[in-house]
Structures are given as structure tokens and as C-alpha cells.
Structure 1
Amino acid sequence: MASGVGKNVFITGANRGIGYTMVEELAKNYDVKRIFAGCRNPDGAESLIALKNQYPSVHLIKVDVQDDISIKNAAEEVGKILGEENLNLLINNAGIAENVFDENSGGNFEAPDRDYYARHFDVNIIGVVMVSSAFLPMLKKAAAEGERSLLVNISSSMASISIGSAYKILKNGNITYSLTKIALNHYSRLTSKYLESAGVIVAAIAPGWVATDMGSQLPIAGFNVDPKYSQEKPLTPEESVQPLMKTIAELKSENSGSYMNRFGEILPD
């Protein structure tokens, strides 16, 4: 299909789950010239390597969102490959939700662990800030030249204060992931205002409850949740990513700053 996302895309956390499936969906079904699949250890990303061997549009890029030098190097490598061409879409997908079923994880109310909280904020929000900053000149250049220019941050329905507070909290009361995604939403909205005059469209999109290594850990099953937002079971990555990519492809300037679900429906803060 016609791209709608532009010719060149960079995705973090692309070695598994939603990230991998987005790379696969773009390679199979979208008219995209280059898909930069970012992950910490490209040499060990067997599924991505197999996808790269099948689709020449896929490029593996080493990036650790907790390492500023790694982020800088990734941006430089992408820039060299692009040459005079532009980056049209950055998807900040990398994220963590560690050991949320473990009562001693350190993410709860009564016995919080500073390092646990710091690690999640470092990946889920600070990493997004640093990656976005490194690739922003490329996105601004694309917009200035009249091309698609999109910054998409993968959020969560747990980033909604009104929806998220209605979900069943785990018995250990792990709230860390939800807090990081709330911060991500606010970052997305602030960034959209900052980039409004530059023509870069920014959106935070919740992919739904997805059966991935991370998503399977999250306490999404809810009570007193509007049926519009509730799920009885997790989605497959494909069930999430196909409508999600369609929504990204259809983003317009008036959508910038929005927090939405995978179908493009606006979610409450």
C-alpha cells in the first residue's frame, strides 16, 4: 500500500514484540524504502536478521536508549545511510516493565526501590527524550522539505489517569510503568507544541494489551472500566500493529499532541 509514513523510518526496541512486528508490517505491506530497526544487540537479534535477509529495506542499527553515546552513534549511522534523503518517521517503542508480578520488585507503594524507579524512568521517558533529540534535525529537515515528518511515542492505556486508575493493580501495587507512561504522554504533548511551527507531527499511541514478553506482565484486566477501553484477553502483536500502523499513516497536523488508541480514537488523559 502507499506508505503514508514516508520513505524512511526508525524504530527503537525493534528486536521483539510490537517493535519487531512493526518492522515486519512495514516491510511486507508498506511502500517504505528503508526501515531502520534499532536494538541493543543486532548481532544477536536472530529474528531481525532473518527479516533483514528477506527484505532489503530492513537495516539493523545498534542503539541502547540508556547510553547517550550509543544514541549519538545510531543517529550518525542513520544519517550516513540516508545521505541527502530524509528520515520521515521516528517511533519510540523501546520500553521496560520489569518483574511486575514480583512482590519485591521495588515498584510498589510501601517498599519502593529508588534504582527500580530510576531504571524505568530512564528507559521509558528519558531514553525517549534523548533519542528524539538526536533524530530531531532529520525530522525537521523532512518537514521543511515538504515531506512526511512524524514522531510517534508508544504509550499505554495505563498512561490515562482516568482509565489506568480503574485497572486492577497487582497485589504488590506496582505503579512504576504507569507513571512513566503518564510522563511520556505529557512529553508528547509538550513536544508537539514545541515542534508545531516546524511541521513535525507528534502523537502518543496506546497499542492495547498485547501478548508480548513485556505486555503479558502488565495488569491490564480491569474493573469499572468503560467497555470501550477494556479487553478480556491480550491481542496478538499483529492484531495490535496492523491498525496502529494504519493510524500512524493517517496522522494529520490537527492530530499533533494527541493521545490515542491503535484505531486513532482519542483517549482521556
Structure 2
Amino acid sequence: MAAVALVQGASRGLGFEFCRYMLLNKPLAAVIATCRNPDGAQHLAALAAQHPGRITVMKLDVNREDDIKRAAESVKCAFGKVDLIVNSSAMLHPSGKGETSLRDVSAQGIISTLTTNTVGPLVMAKYFAPLLQKGTGAFGQQPPEKAKQHSGIIVNMTARVGSIGDNALGGWYSYRMSKAALNMATRNLSIELGRGQTKIVCVSLHPGTVNTDLSLPYHRNVHKDKLFSTEYSVQCLMNIIDNLNTDKTGKAYAWDSTEIAW
């Protein structure tokens, strides 16, 4: 059976590039691309036209649990399994800029950011874990020991600023907190979904500073050699994914494969 990859938040930025990369470089993979408004996702429609029969565009608002549940039911009916899930949707803050001090903090801003960046990926795991357990381990590396093989992979897109140990500057309360909490969710998931014979590898991946709408307000502060294209970042991240195994689960990795301290 062909590999099945689902990209949550696929209409733009890294999510779109993950879809494009797999369609070009994983010829046997079926790609499920989810987004809040498929009718307005013109780039996805064009990509689907270029790869007929290989990409399914599906409505899924990661802030709505009912959407996630319905999407999981649809994927189950259409594919019966999933081998890889990439949770790509993210927001810096509802205002588009991170808070620089306590004066900028609002309860609603924190709640909105946590809902998209942390709660959404965790609820995705709740409904899609059964389908990942039916996967064939088509992504990552499988060791010869049957007991250590995995059936599927969950990738949560994190950020280095979510590392508590690496935080020396402060600020960006909502975004930092959401990514730190996401890292904890990844760790928890790796433990629960790593039990038993059917194991799911769960990792957090940091893409670097990528030229997307999320990082746009801060481009002038980033050296040109450190501002990555989506193509370069996804190529690096897919290299990590292709080399994942059960020994690497429950950890955070940067785009260059180095491990990030929690």
C-alpha cells in the first residue's frame, strides 16, 4: 500500500512546501493537504492539477475539534491509515508581532496563540493516532529489530524560542509559551504512543528562520545567510524525517539535525 502523508496547515508557507516536496520526491506517496479554507487555497488547487490523483485537499481548521474529528473519519474511509502527520499551522500572535514586554500581554492573545500552536496539534494526535497505528512505517528508518519498529510519525513544528534552557532574551510570551507547551505535548505523546507493539515516533522540529508571513516583521534583523527559503528548510527537515526511528522519538531537532534542549 502506498505511503500516506498528511500535512496540517498546507495552504501556505512550510505546509505547502512539505506537500510540494513529497509530491516531487516521494513518487509512491499520497498526500493529504488540510487547510481552513480549501476553496480559497489557489496554490493547493494548482498543485493538485499538476499531480492528478496524488493529492487530496481537505477542510480542517485546527482550532475546531469537530473539524479534526471529521477529517480523521474521512481519511479513515478513503485511506485506512496514515504514515506521517506534519502539524504545520502556527501563529506568532494575533497581532502579528510577539510581545516585547508585559505591557503587551493579553489573555486573549495568549489563548489564541496556544489554541493554534499547542492545542491543535495535540487534538490532531488524539484523532489520528489510531490511523498512524495502522501505518506501515513508510517514512523514517526501520531497524532490523522488530520490537523497535514504528508504524507512523508525528512531526510538530516547534521553534528554538520554545526552549526554556535556551531562553536568554525573554519576550514573545505567547509564542514562547505555546512552543514550550507543544514540546511537552510531543514528549508526552512519544511516551504514550511508544508503548506496545505498534509504536509512533513523535518529534518536534525547528525549521530555522524561514521566509514566511510569520517571520516577515523580523526579516530586517536576520542575517541573509540565516533567513531560509521554504524549499531549503523543508529539504533539511525531510532529511531528518527520513532518518527518524524509535530511538529518536520524544526529542526536538533543529533544521541541521542538532538536538535542541527542552
**What residue number does 1:95 align with?**
90
**What residue number does 1:191 align with?**
189
**What residue number does 2:141 align with?**
none
Contact in 2 for aligned 1:36/1:60 (Cα 8 Å): yes
The 5-angstrom pairing of residues 19-38 of structure 1 reads 19-38=15-34
TM-score using structure 1 length: 0.84
Alpha carbon RMSD of aligned pairs, Å? 2.4
Aligned mates of 1:237, 1:188 — CA distance in 2: 23
Label 1:107 to 1:40 Cα distance change in 2 as closer, same or farther (>3 A).
Answer: farther
Contact in 1 for aligned 2:133/2:151 (Cα 8 Å): no
Can you give the 5+ residue segments of structure 1 that lack an aligned partner in the other structure? Answer: 1-5, 223-229
Label 1:76 to 1:108 Cα distance change in 2 as closer, same or farther (>3 A).
Answer: farther
Q: How far does residue 221 in structure 1 lie from its aligned partner after superposition?
A: 5.3
**What residue number does 1:17 align with?**
13
> Could you tell me which of 155, 158, 163 is aligned with 1:155?
158
Aligned mates of 1:187, 1:219 — CA distance in 2: 29
Runs of 4+ in 1 over 3 A off after TM superposition: 105-108, 143-148, 217-222, 230-233
Label 1:35 to 1:258 Cα distance change in 2 as closer, same or farther (>3 A).
Answer: same
Q: How far does residue 33 in structure 1 lie from its aligned partner after superposition?
A: 2.7
Contact in 2 for aligned 1:207/1:241 (Cα 8 Å): yes
Aligned mates of 1:107, 1:235 — CA distance in 2: 24
Q: Does 1:241 align with 2:234?
A: yes
Label 1:47 to 1:115 Cα distance change in 2 as closer, same or farther (>3 A).
Answer: same
Amino acid at match of 1:181: K
TM-score using structure 2 length: 0.86
Q: How far does residue 231 in structure 1 lie from its aligned partner after superposition?
A: 7.8
**What residue number does 1:227 align with?**
none
**What residue number does 1:166 align with?**
168
**What residue number does 1:46 align with?**
42
> Could you tell me which of 106, 109, 116 is aligned with 2:109?
116
How many pairs does the alignment contain? 247
Label 1:231 to 1:260 Cα distance change in 2 as closer, same or farther (>3 A).
Answer: farther
Aligned mates of 2:126, 2:243 — CA distance in 1: 24
Amino acid at match of 2:193: L
Can you give the 5+ residue segments of structure 2 that lack an aligned partner in the other structure? Answer: 138-145
